[in-house]
């Protein structure tokens, strides 16, 4: 097939790749020759004759008496082996993954017609080629981990053996990685672990939609062929290309994974084709030989060169008609950078006829006007060590193969069993998930250890989390029905939903491209999974299937505190209820600040992030902006201001440093909000009233705060209780963090306010609070357990306003984390 003219022009503009990768081990042998030669690149293949690599003297150097014109000299000499003996010994300095390429060019010489040669090849006693013969030029490429200092290649002739050239070089780090490879099987998700220990044989390496790439164009000297011969319905696809160098992102693919040219060309859906429906797949079918249902590593390369902006492209990937990856969203996978290379590995079986079929097609998430799917590159590698070869060659090897395959199938069965167990757990959610089986397309997160359960069993770590399937969430939210939306935040939309067991939940679905994004998502899971507290909204589960980022929280029936203060039809809360809510929220926040070893700053305390359950118990929500305490200073400057207008610590602007006292400031604003029942910022008011904290403090300083108290509660509040409350709120909003109380102090003061309200004098004459330091650090006697509904936290034995974290923890444990 002729390339379109513009593609030809384009190819001459493409930058010539300089091979920047330097392998640690690098052996290039020109077999059977006395001279060094370069081949397809500037790399020099050294003569094997004089070298110390050859470990047998029973071999023959052969050269082609009639070399065809233009054939590389590398292919016109060969080394012939007549008997079995270790043939080449190469000393390795790196025990990682290596490439091994064996070049065979079967020419005809007087005594040897290389086309008739039949032999096997072993590497460190592992059989790579089995009674092999060829009548055309082939390069056999293997990718394997060698963990011995010597690599020994043995040719095992049936009649005689030959080889023209050998390449052995170390692969870039992490070229084949162990975790996170999805095993494509019907109706489930399984993980293929331990991939790097497998011997892989390259079967196909395809530059989809582009030109043939030779070792010249590839930093690992690979050859990439065109896809035309494998494309099933040619009219379904058209070429896409770009002249821009791909935007490589760390965490995505690198130049060593595939060269620029692979990512700069692709096939996309040919939507101009009138004969096709609006939605269709593009499919390629690759014969892979090697028998039926053989495991293959399928590495797919993607780079969104077809979209004009982010979040336009969503598609599904199928391997042999099985869903391999649903709703691929390259924008989200590539950290929101367009045209950045990404690859994903699958382990899949070939079909009954020894083929691997790959399809890409539109996802349900596609915008109907922008239905599309792409593919930039394909590599298919046979997983050799899992193949039980039926042909033997020598008794010893038969034993080896049998042992190997028995062991292999045991390992495989065990894997299947583990995967099965894992999958059942996903369904029935009875037990803890082991961390190694988690599949996430984002490599850098694969170490995140998250345990989970559905039924709320507390794991040995003292926390519980849960992975929930996308399908369950989808059905529980009526496929994200817009009428179930209960909120919209920086992270995405929040839906009301239910799980299979009918628990009501709030489902927070991250939109790709949202302000927060993946790091926050994972920070939120990590933080929330460690935290269980009566006054913190619990994470019920999460879903990071494919490109989704979904958090599932306990559902809070009464919604945000704000909607019970103003701007809604809810009946106003009583003063006592408000105090209980403030105390609850302070407890939650106090637990965040002191209850974990590091201390967590919430960063976005406001009345919409304090939620009420059915019994008006307050819980602090939204840890998406949370950051662990002390070490946050440097990182914070670069992440920019987060938090909400009107609640933001003014000192934070001056010093660009967020501390737990920033939360105290925001909490002080909430206290004023609770008292005055008006927004923290109301731009419609006259200038001096816009900012609640400023305005309230002005009144407080005048001693006239009662003038602006919410009319609904003004006559319920005892003056002593108001006084204490106002002092506390004012201290929280001090200009400087050092002048603000800790949240522990605030908690004590609020409890005291409640006591004053319950049992204090009706008028303002006796200062019942006189012996309590306003910052709460002085000692005081408890006047019996407080009457609020949260007594489980009130052990009544603390002598200081500051609970230490072990106390909080022990209290937490006795409450089974709730
Ligand atoms: C081939 O190259 C090696 C290393 O550069 C050198 O030591 C050797 O002499 C060369 N052999 C020939 C025949 O040029
Ligand atoms: C591989 O090499 C590393 C560092 O060179 C060494 O620490 C490790 O023990 C080696 N592993 C094996 C299996 O030889
Ligand atoms: C991985 O597989 C290799 C060979 O199949 C085996 O020797 C090794 O112990 C395995 N490692 C793990 C962690 O399963
Ligand atoms: C690959 O390298 C060859 C040799 O330098 C060059 O002629 C060809 O244009 C390159 N192909 C591409 C697609 O860059
Ligand atoms: C794409 O192929 C898969 C697997 O064969 C199939 O299930 C799916 O329905 C196809 N999609 C379209 C839009 O034809």
pLDDT tens for 312-354 read 899 999 999 999 988 888 887 776 788 999 999 999 999 988 9
CB-based contact 606:625 (threshold 8 Å):
no
Q: To which CATH superfamily is domain 560-795 assigned?
A: Transferase(Phosphotransferase) domain 1 (1.10.510.10)
Which-ligand-closest: CA of 216?
4
Of 168-182, 367-381, 507-521, minimum mean pLDDT range: 507-521
The minimum-distance atom of ligand 2 relative to the CA of 93 is 5
Predicted confidence (pLDDT) per residue in 675-689, tens digit: 999 999 887 788 888
The minimum-distance atom of ligand 1 relative to the CA of 36 is 1
Alpha-carbon distance 208 to 783, whole Å?
A: 77
- The answer on whether 115 is annotated among ligand-binding residues is no
pLDDT at 449: 27
Question: How far does the centroid of ligand 5 lie from the alpha carbon of residue 279, in Å?
Answer: 9
Which-ligand-closest: CA of 36?
1
CB-based contact 87:75 (threshold 8 Å):
no
The two three-digit tokens of residue 583, written as one number: 């105390």
Whether residue 202 is predicted with pLDDT greater than 50 in this model: the reply is: yes
**806 CB less than 6 Å from ligand 1?**
no
Spatial neighbors of 32 by CB under 8 A, at least 6 apart, are 48, 49, 60, 61, 62, 63, 77, 78, 79, 80, 164
**95 CB less than 6 Å from ligand 2?**
yes
Whether residue 37 is predicted with pLDDT greater than 60 in this model: the reply is: yes
Neighbours of 407 (CB within 10 A): 11
The verdict on whether 604 is a catalytic residue reads yes
pLDDT at 305: 94
Q: Which residue has its alpha carbon closest to ligand 4 atom 10?
A: 217
Whether residue 47 is predicted with pLDDT greater than 50 in this model: the reply is: yes
Question: How far does the centroid of ligand 2 lie from the alpha carbon of residue 383, in Å?
Answer: 24
Question: How far does the centroid of ligand 4 lie from the alpha carbon of residue 222, in Å?
Answer: 13
Whether residue 444 is predicted with pLDDT greater than 60 in this model: the reply is: no
Residue in 91, 93, 147 to alter for ligand 2 test, most ligand atoms within 8 A of Cβ = 147
Candidates 3.40.640.10, 3.30.565.10, 3.40.630.40, 2.60.120.430; correct CATH number of 5-9+178-386?
2.60.120.430
Q: Which residue has its alpha carbon closest to ligand 5 atom 7?
A: 321
Which-ligand-closest: CA of 358?
5
Q: Report how far Cα 764 is from the mean position of its chain's Cα atoms.
A: 59
Please give the residue that has the higher pLDDT: either 275 or 506.
506
Of 260-274, 592-606, 632-646, minimum mean pLDDT range: 632-646
pLDDT at 183: 86
CB-based contact 557:486 (threshold 8 Å):
no
Whether residue 706 is predicted with pLDDT greater than 60 in this model: the reply is: yes
**35 CB less than 6 Å from ligand 1?**
yes
CB-based contact 115:78 (threshold 8 Å):
no
Predicted confidence (pLDDT) per residue in 728-750, tens digit: 999 999 988 899 999 999 999 99
Question: How far does the centroid of ligand 4 lie from the alpha carbon of residue 13, in Å?
Answer: 10
* pLDDT confidence band for 133 (50 / 70 / 90): very high
Q: Which residue has its alpha carbon closest to ligand 3 atom 13?
A: 194
pLDDT at 527: 66
pLDDT at 2: 37
Two domains, one topology: 5-9+178-386 and 23-170 = yes
The 3-state DSSP class for residue 797 equals coil
- Mean pLDDT score of the chain: 76
Question: How far does the centroid of ligand 2 lie from the alpha carbon of residue 24, in Å?
Answer: 14
Q: Which residue has its alpha carbon closest to ligand 4 atom 5?
A: 216
**318 CB less than 6 Å from ligand 5?**
yes
Of 102-106, 452-456, 683-687, minimum mean pLDDT range: 452-456
Q: Which residue has its alpha carbon closest to ligand 5 atom 1?
A: 281
pLDDT at 522: 66
* pLDDT confidence band for 401 (50 / 70 / 90): very low
CATH 3.30.200.20 holds for 441-555: yes
Q: Which residue has its alpha carbon closest to ligand 2 atom 8?
A: 95
Q: Which residue has its alpha carbon closest to ligand 4 atom 1?
A: 217
Which secondary-structure segment (H or E) carries 374? strand 374-375
Please give the residue that has the higher pLDDT: either 570 or 467.
570
Catalytic option among 604, 622, 660, 788: 604
Give the residue-averaged pLDDT of 107-126.
Answer: 91
**197 CB less than 6 Å from ligand 3?**
yes
**51 CB less than 6 Å from ligand 1?**
no
pLDDT at 763: 65
* pLDDT confidence band for 233 (50 / 70 / 90): confident
Of 152-161, 199-208, 591-600, minimum mean pLDDT range: 591-600
Question: How far does the centroid of ligand 4 lie from the alpha carbon of residue 16, in Å?
Answer: 6
**8 CB less than 6 Å from ligand 4?**
no
Which-ligand-closest: CA of 147?
2
Give the residue-averaged pLDDT of 622-628.
Answer: 53
DSSP string, 272-327: T-TTS-SS--EEEEEE--SSSS-EEEEEEEE---S-SSTT---EEEEETTEEEEEE
pLDDT at 51: 66
Q: What ranges do the domains of the chain cover? A: 5-9+178-386, 23-170, 441-555, 560-795
Give the residue-averaged pLDDT of 354-363.
Answer: 94
Which secondary-structure segment (H or E) carries 508? strand 504-510
Give the residue-averaged pLDDT of 446-450.
Answer: 26
* pLDDT confidence band for 549 (50 / 70 / 90): confident
Predicted confidence (pLDDT) per residue in 268-290, tens digit: 999 887 677 778 899 999 999 87
What fold characterizes domain 23-170? Jelly Rolls (2.60.120)
Question: How far does the centroid of ligand 5 lie from the alpha carbon of residue 268, in Å?
Answer: 16
């Amino acid at each position: 097939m002729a390339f379109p003219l513009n593609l030809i022009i384009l190819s001459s503009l493409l930058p010539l790749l300089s091979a920047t990768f330097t392998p640690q081990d690098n052996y290039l042998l020109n077999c059977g020759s006395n001279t060094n030669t370069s081949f397809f690149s500037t790399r020099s293949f050294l003569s094997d004759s004089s070298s110390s690599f050859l470990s047998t003297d029973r071999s023959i150097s052969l050269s082609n008496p009639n070399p065809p014109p233009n054939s590389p000299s590398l292919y016109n000499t060969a080394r012939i082996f007549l008997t079995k003996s270790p043939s080449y010994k190469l000393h390795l300095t790196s025990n990682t993954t290596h490439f091994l390429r064996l070049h065979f060019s079967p020419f005809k010489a007087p005594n040897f017609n290389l086309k008739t040669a039949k032999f096997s090849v072993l590497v460190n006693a592992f059989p790579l080629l089995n009674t092999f013969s060829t009548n055309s030029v082939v390069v056999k490429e293997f990718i394997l981990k060698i963990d011995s200092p010597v690599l020994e290649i043995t040719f095992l002739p049936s009649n005689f053996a030959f080889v023209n050239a050998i390449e052995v070089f170390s692969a870039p780090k992490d070229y084949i990685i162990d975790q996170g490879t999805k095993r494509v099987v019907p109706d489930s998700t399984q993980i293929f672990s331990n991939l790097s220990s497998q011997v892989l044989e390259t079967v196909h390496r395809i530059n989809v939609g582009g030109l043939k790439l030779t070792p010249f164009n590839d930093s690992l000297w690979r050859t990439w062929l065109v896809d035309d011969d494998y494309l099933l319905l040619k009219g379904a696809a058209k070429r896409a290309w770009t002249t821009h160098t791909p935007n490589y992102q760390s965490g995505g693919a690198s130049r060593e994974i595939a060269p620029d040219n692979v990512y700069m060309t692709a096939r996309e859906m040919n939507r101009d084709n009138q004969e096709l429906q609006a939605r269709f797949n593009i499919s390629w079918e690759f014969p892979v030989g090697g028998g039926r249902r053989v495991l293959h590593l399928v590495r797919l390369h993607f780079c969104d060169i077809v979209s004009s902006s982010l979040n336009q492209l969503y598609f599904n990937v199928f391997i042999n008609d099985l869903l391999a990856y649903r709703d691929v969203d390259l924008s989200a996978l590539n950290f929101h950078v367009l045209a950045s290379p990404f690859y994903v590995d699958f382990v899949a079986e070939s079909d009954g006829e020894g083929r691997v079929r790959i399809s890409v097609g539109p996802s349900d998430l596609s915008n109907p006007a922008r239905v599309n799917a792409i593919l930039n590159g394909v590599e298919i590698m046979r997983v050799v060590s899992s193949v039980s070869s039926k042909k033997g060659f020598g008794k010893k090897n038969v034993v080896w193969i049998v042992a190997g395959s028995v062991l292999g199938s045991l390992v495989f069965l065990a894997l299947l069993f583990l995967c099965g167990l894992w999958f059942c757990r996903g369904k029935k959610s009875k037990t803890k998930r082991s961390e190694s089986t988690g599949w996430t397309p984002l490599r850098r997160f694969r170490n995140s250890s998250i345990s989970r359960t559905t039924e709320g069993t507390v794991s040995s770590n003292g926390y519980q989390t849960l992975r929930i399937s996308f399908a369950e969430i989808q059905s529980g939210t009526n496929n994200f029905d817009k009428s179930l939306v209960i909120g919209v935040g920086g992270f995405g939309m929040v839906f009301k939903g239910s799980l299979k067991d009918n628990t009501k939940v709030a489902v927070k679905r991250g939109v790709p491209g949202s302000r927060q994004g993946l790091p926050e998502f994972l920070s939120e899971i990590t933080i929330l999974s460690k935290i269980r507290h009566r006054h913190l909204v619990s994470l019920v589960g999460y879903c990071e299937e494919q490109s989704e980022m979904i958090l599932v929280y306990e559902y809070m029936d009464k919604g945000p505190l704000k909607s019970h203060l103003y701007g809604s039809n809810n009946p106003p809360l009583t003063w006592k209820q408000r105090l209980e809510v403030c105390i609850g929220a302070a407890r939650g926040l106090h637990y965040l600040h002191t209850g974990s070893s590091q201390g967590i700053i919430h960063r976005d305390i406001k009345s919409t992030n304090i939620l009420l359950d059915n019994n008006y118990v307050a819980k602090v929500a939204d840890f998406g902006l949370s950051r662990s305490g002390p070490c946050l200073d440097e990182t914070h400057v670069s992440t920019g201001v987060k938090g909400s207008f009107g609640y933001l610590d003014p000192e934070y602007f001056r010093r660009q440093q967020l501390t737990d006292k920033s939360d105290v400031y925001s909490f002080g604003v909430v206290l004023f909000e609770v008292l005055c029942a008006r927004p923290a910022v109301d731009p419609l008011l006259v200038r001096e009233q816009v900012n609640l904290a400023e305005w309230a403090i002005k009144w407080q300083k005048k001693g006239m705060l009662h003038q602006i108290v919410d009319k609904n509660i003004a006559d319920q509040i005892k003056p002593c209780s108001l006084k204490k409350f106002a002092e506390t709120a004012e201290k929280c909003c001090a200009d400087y963090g050092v002048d603000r109380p800790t949240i522990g102090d605030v908690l004590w003061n609020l409890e005291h306010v409640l006591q004053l309200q319950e049992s204090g004098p009706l008028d303002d004459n006796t200062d019942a609070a006189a012996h309590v330091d306003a910052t709460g650090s002085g000692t005081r006697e408890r006047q019996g357990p407080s009457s609020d509904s949260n007594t489980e936290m009130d052990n009544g034995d603390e002598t200081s306003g500051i609970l230490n974290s072990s106390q909080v923890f022990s209290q937490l444990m006795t409450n089974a984390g709730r």
